[in-house]
Amino acid sequence: MEKLRLEIIGMSYSQSQSGAYAIILGEQEGKRRLPIIIGSFEAQAIAIEIEKIKTPRPLTHDLFKSFADTFQINVTEVIINKFSEGVFYAILVCSDGKIEKKVDSRTSDAIALALRFNCPIYTYETIMVAAGIIMDEEMTEPIHSETEQEISPNPEEDLSVFTITELKQLLKKAVDSEEYEKASRIRDEITKRKRET
């Protein structure tokens, strides 16, 4: 299965889930984005490495990196290999130069380690189709219609009351206003509906 290379686009605070963040991954050669909800500790671990902040004592991911370096083990790539019921799964591809092993990982930990090992992050087309959000550079202004203005859910509002067409409009609106956490909830609802039909 062909892998798609991803890069970190940014991170935003969740408006609906206290202490949660959305990390945004984008395909290197495309317009699709993959918003992933992560906890505050994982967000901190990712942000610290992106900003190259030095901590007085090693954090968990730094300790993992030091441990791996000590035993000459390298994480060569991270693959987000599964998306099920709104949850992303990942693996670390590790090598000592002779043997390659795949290790199961939470996606947030895998991203934090990918930054520390300076290795690429990949996913598969099937996951981008199921969970990706398309960003159209030509459409810089959101499309407004009378229907769209009426449908603007609160973060906690039940999305099951909206039609698929309305959900797609909401998804576009959320992406345009960079509300990625809301966009991921809407995306998950659309995915759930498609599975049910």
Q: What is the pLDDT of residues 149-162, one digit of tens each?
A: 333 445 456 787 88
Q: Could you tell me which CATH class the domain 3-131 is placed in?
A: alpha beta
Could you list the beta-strand ranges (E) of the chain: 3-13, 20-27, 32-39, 74-84, 87-95, 100-106, 121-124, 133-134
Burial class (CB in 10 A: 0-12, 13-18, 19+), 185: buried
Q: pTM score > 0.75 for this model?
A: no
What are the boundaries of each domain within the chain? Answer: 3-131, 138-196
pLDDT of residue 159: 81
Q: What is the pLDDT of residues 128-137, one digit of tens each?
A: 999 998 865 4
